[in-house]
Copies of this chain bind each other. A is one copy, B any other.
Amino acid sequence: MHRSIWAAAIVSLTGLSTVSEARESNTQWVDTFIGTGGDGHTFPGAVVPFGMVQLSPDTDNPMRGVSPQPEIYKRCAGYHYDDTTIVGFSHTHFSGTGHSDLGDLLVMPITGEVKLDAGTAEDPDSGYRSRFSHDKEWAQPGYYGVELLDYDVTAELTTTTRAGMHKYTFNSAKDGHILFDLTSAIYNFENKVIWSDIRKVDDRTLVAYRATNGWARNRQMYFAIQFSQPIDDYQFINLDNMRYRCMNCLDSKQKHSTIENKAVKMTAGKAVKFVASFNNVDQKPVYMKVGLSAVSRSNALENLQTEIPHWDFEKVRAQAKQDWAKYLDKVDVEGTRSEKRQFYTALYHALQAPSIYQDVNGQYRGVDGEIHDGKGFEHYTLFSLWDTYRALHPLLTYIDPDRVSGMIQSMLVHYQQSYEKMLPIWSFHAHETWTMIGYHAVSVIADAYLKGIRDYDIDLAVEAIQSTANNPVYDAIPEYKKYGYVPMDVLPESVSITLEYAYNDYAIARMFEAMGKNKLAQQYYARAMSYKNVFDPETRFMRGRDSKGNWNKDFNAYEAKYMGPFTEGNSMQYSFYVPQDVAGLIDLMGGDDAFEKRLDDLFDTPLSADMIKEHEDIAGLIGNYAHGNEPSHHIAYLYNYAGKPWRTQERIRQIMDTLSSDKPDGLAGNDDVGQMSAWYIFSAMGFYPVSPGDLSYAIGAPQTPKVTLKLVNGKTFTTTAKGLSKTHKYIQSVSLNGKPLNRNYLTHADIMAGGELKYVMSDKPNKAWGRDNSARPPSLSEYK
């Protein structure tokens, strides 16, 4: 048995370089391990595009209060490539976040003595965890497999949108067990589990429930579990209540009081586990299906039965692969193996969230905690908007505008269901975490609206945007409106908040202007100029300011201080955060040359660890430029605006060459739910949305010989980079559909019209190229 399984695994692992490659979809290029090393925080397990289930191995779940923070941070996605043991397979994971939660319903197939604790990585035999080796581990989109060495069990996972499927092959043991540890969680800590239960419904079916208090408070998750063969024996474990330890006392003839019906096969509490035991597992693999729901056990069961009505693991696996192929084949990339692996893995990571958060019957749990009927639209969760408004959401408008509509509808019902009447900030699983700053949902909506994606209630969108941008309870908006900036004596991170509000207001103005709401648009255009109120003309830096107008006395442009005026960044970085009015910023900073010098200062001045010691997110450094965190993402493109596009071209190449690879540690920082990946995808094609909402893209430097994007209007948009190499990093010339293009930006209309964008590359900058920018969408200053 062992051999055939392992041989099959080898084929699927090494299939990447066989002759069958030609017929393979682009799924073949995805390496789900990219980002699982370093601080990428991605997971290697099974997921379908935008799926509710992320079924993936957890290599360790260190406890807060027991383990040091770096150990915990390292395992935001449950799995880290450095680890050598697996504690089990759980069904929910974030991809690339910088804070974490989830890890619901950890399952572990085991043999021999049943251990009830995971044990330690240092002494794997102390618990139920197993050693594993990357040599005996394989994955492809929608599928993951590994040899659990301590048990000689081959574990394979695949999934649909709402139900995961497990295949456990016991290669040498005669009897096997499947352990369910409802105490296990990512970012776990004592008392994280508010309540949980598990019930044996019949010999092949379990249902379970867990509420946790983590990043999301009192998050609800329901599970339905089915086995391919009857359970032969089982054990309920309830660590916090010895009364429930033995639930089948009647069977074992133990005397018990009739006050509790111990014959009922369920247990409930805060520390609950369950062991299902199977005899003769050497005969055939044990399969298991697990349906998830945030609404109810019965919905979890319906999700499972609807999406996986059979026991054909390979069929589910093939469907998952096909789901991915449908998306990944929308883009054709030519390039080196490494470039293709990086590109398609980036696309794979970009298409995981916002994810479906709705049952097959349409029900979902809203941010009000209540169950709603979502018939008529797809409901999504996981809005990491401070990260993803920048490039991920603009990218999705090309890949799947229908889903973008669903995401916007989901944000609008969030607004309606929120007690604060706010669009989401950083929300997941029916909870607003209030993490990060700004109200970037408005720019996601504005960008989509301006691109013609309007399949949602537009009046409601306007109402939601207005309510959010003028909200009395959210981060000092009243003071922002009163003073023109957020005073530092009112709220920490005041400068970053002011700058991001100003950009958000620009996006609103653009949308409202396009709707003909000119008076309103003018108000928001005026608010969008607020960035000037935190620009200190003396130091020429963005700088904290109190409510009396005084500048921060304790100012250090390099320092990123927790609870200081900047958000996960310093003034060196944030002083460039005026995407809506780079021209105005250049003026403030003293003109094109001074601006170029300031950009060079950013990239070339080393940043001491001392300056950022409170911020684990600030990573992927080139000088003070932090590619691993979002506030830097647009900055390399800003040379363009000072008339120096070849400097942007240099910087993009520099970032690509030094901060990106196709190795597990190939991401320079957290993927942040696809934002890092979206940066890569746009930048590899040679352009980037510096200011979503202006419908333009700054041209950088292509990093891939050829990319063809199949557009939803049936057209294709192709970029080619003639002569591209590491040294031929400069643009010599550009043509669009055969006509010379002498501007350093591209418009949304250019892309949607289809055709070919042809870059000719050179090893020398062409300083004359890209100067005809007179038709560029006007800089904010010019709107007034």
**Out of B201, B259, B432, B475, which one reaches A419, CB within 8 Å?**
B201
Q: Any chain B CB within 8 A of the CB of A263? A: yes
Q: Is the CB of B297 within 8 A of A258?
A: no
0 or 1 for each of A354-384: is its CB under 8 Å from B? (1 = yes): 0000000000000011110000000000000
Q: Is the CB of A261 within 8 A of B368?
A: no
Q: Is the CB of B263 within 8 A of A473?
A: yes
Q: Is the CB of A218 within 8 A of B199?
A: no
Known: A211-B195, A476-B250. Is A492-B256 also a contact (CB below 8 A)? yes
Q: Which of A483-498 contact B (CB under 8 A)?
A: 489-493, 497
- Residue from A194, A217, A258, A268 having most chain B Cβ neighbours under 10 A: A258
Q: Is the CB of B491 within 8 A of A255?
A: yes
Q: Which residue of B has the minimal Cβ distance to A255?
A: B492
A256 to B476, CA, bound (A): 11
Q: Is the CB of B265 within 8 A of A473?
A: yes
A436 to B474, CA, bound (A): 53
Q: Is the CB of B258 within 8 A of A436?
A: yes
Q: Any chain B CB within 8 A of the CB of A563? A: yes
A43 to B422, CA, bound (A): 44
Q: Any chain B CB within 8 A of the CB of A632? A: no
Q: Is the CB of A490 within 8 A of B258?
A: no
| A473 / chain B contacts, CB cutoff of 8 Å | 250, 261, 263-265
User: For the complex formed by this chain, how many copies does it contain in all?
Assistant: 2
Query: What is the minimal beta-carbon distance from A482 to any residue of chain B, in angstroms?
Result: 14
Known: A195-B194, A263-B473. Is A253-B419 also a contact (CB below 8 A)? no
Query: What is the minimal beta-carbon distance from A573 to any residue of chain B, in angstroms?
Result: 17
| A539 / chain B contacts, CB cutoff of 8 Å | none
A368 to B368, CA, bound (A): 22
- Residue from A261, A264, A298 having most chain B Cβ neighbours under 10 A: A261
Q: Any chain B CB within 8 A of the CB of A420? A: yes
| A257 / chain B contacts, CB cutoff of 8 Å | 492-493, 562-563
Q: Is the CB of B493 within 8 A of A420?
A: no
Q: Any chain B CB within 8 A of the CB of A555? A: no
Q: Is the CB of B297 within 8 A of A266?
A: no
Query: What is the minimal beta-carbon distance from A625 to any residue of chain B, in angstroms?
Result: 24
Q: Any chain B CB within 8 A of the CB of A133? A: no
Q: Is the CB of B369 within 8 A of A258?
A: no
Q: Is the CB of A258 within 8 A of B217?
A: no
Q: Any chain B CB within 8 A of the CB of A434? A: yes
Known: A199-B419, A218-B268, A490-B253. Is A297-B368 also a contact (CB below 8 A)? yes
A368 to B257, CA, bound (A): 23
| A258 / chain B contacts, CB cutoff of 8 Å | 434, 436-437, 475, 491-493, 497, 567
Q: Any chain B CB within 8 A of the CB of A260? A: yes
Q: Which residue of B has the minimal Cβ distance to A490?
A: B253
| A250 / chain B contacts, CB cutoff of 8 Å | 473, 476, 490-491
0 or 1 for each of A185-217: is its CB under 8 Å from B? (1 = yes): 000000000110101010000000101010001
Q: Any chain B CB within 8 A of the CB of A727? A: no
| A266 / chain B contacts, CB cutoff of 8 Å | 419
| A263 / chain B contacts, CB cutoff of 8 Å | 472-475
Q: Any chain B CB within 8 A of the CB of A154? A: no
- Residue from A218, A256, A269, A567 having most chain B Cβ neighbours under 10 A: A218
Q: Any chain B CB within 8 A of the CB of A296? A: yes
Query: What is the minimal beta-carbon distance from A76 to any residue of chain B, in angstroms?
Result: 16
Q: Which residue of B has the minimal Cβ distance to A473?
A: B263
**Out of B217, B255, B419, which one reaches A563, CB within 8 Å?**
B255
0 or 1 for each of A232-276: is its CB under 8 Å from B? (1 = yes): 000000000000000000100101111111011110110000000
Query: What is the minimal beta-carbon distance from A487 to any residue of chain B, in angstroms?
Result: 10
Known: A297-B370, A370-B298. Is A261-B419 also a contact (CB below 8 A)? no
Q: Which residue of B has the minimal Cβ distance to A496?
A: B258
Q: Any chain B CB within 8 A of the CB of A69? A: no
| A436 / chain B contacts, CB cutoff of 8 Å | 258-259
| A371 / chain B contacts, CB cutoff of 8 Å | 296, 371
Q: Any chain B CB within 8 A of the CB of A435? A: yes
Q: Is the CB of A261 within 8 A of B199?
A: no
A194 to B256, CA, bound (A): 27
Q: Is the CB of A370 within 8 A of B194?
A: no
Q: Is the CB of A435 within 8 A of B264?
A: no
Q: Which residue of B has the minimal Cβ distance to A363?
A: B371
Q: Is the CB of A268 within 8 A of B217?
A: yes
Query: What is the minimal beta-carbon distance from A561 to any residue of chain B, in angstroms?
Result: 12
A430 to B266, CA, bound (A): 16
A269 to B192, CA, bound (A): 11
Q: Which residue of B has the minimal Cβ distance to A491?
A: B258
Q: Which residue of B has the minimal Cβ distance to A417?
A: B298
A260 to B426, CA, bound (A): 11
Q: Is the CB of B195 within 8 A of A369?
A: no
Q: Which of A427-472 contact B (CB under 8 A)?
A: 432, 434-437, 472
Query: What is the minimal beta-carbon distance from A426 to any residue of chain B, in angstroms?
Result: 9
Q: Which residue of B has the minimal Cβ distance to A99?
A: B259
Query: What is the minimal beta-carbon distance from A408 to any residue of chain B, in angstroms?
Result: 22
| A265 / chain B contacts, CB cutoff of 8 Å | 473
A473 to B263, CA, bound (A): 5
Q: Is the CB of A474 within 8 A of B255?
A: no
| A195 / chain B contacts, CB cutoff of 8 Å | 194-195, 211, 213, 218
A371 to B220, CA, bound (A): 14
Query: What is the minimal beta-carbon distance from A343 to any residue of chain B, in angstroms?
Result: 34
Query: What is the minimal beta-carbon distance from A12 to any residue of chain B, in angstroms?
Result: 40
| A213 / chain B contacts, CB cutoff of 8 Å | 195, 269
A369 to B297, CA, bound (A): 9
Known: A258-B491, A437-B258. Is A368-B264 also a contact (CB below 8 A)? no
Pairs across A and B, CB under 8 Å, 9 listed: A195-B213, A195-B218, A255-B563, A258-B492, A258-B493, A261-B473, A261-B475, A298-B370, A371-B371
A-B CB proximity, top 9 nearest = A261-B434, A263-B473, A296-B370, A258-B493, A194-B195, A217-B268, A195-B218, A258-B437, A260-B434
Known: A250-B491, A264-B419; 8 extra A-B contacts, CB below 8 A, are: A194-B195, A199-B419, A213-B269, A258-B434, A263-B473, A266-B419, A297-B368, A297-B369
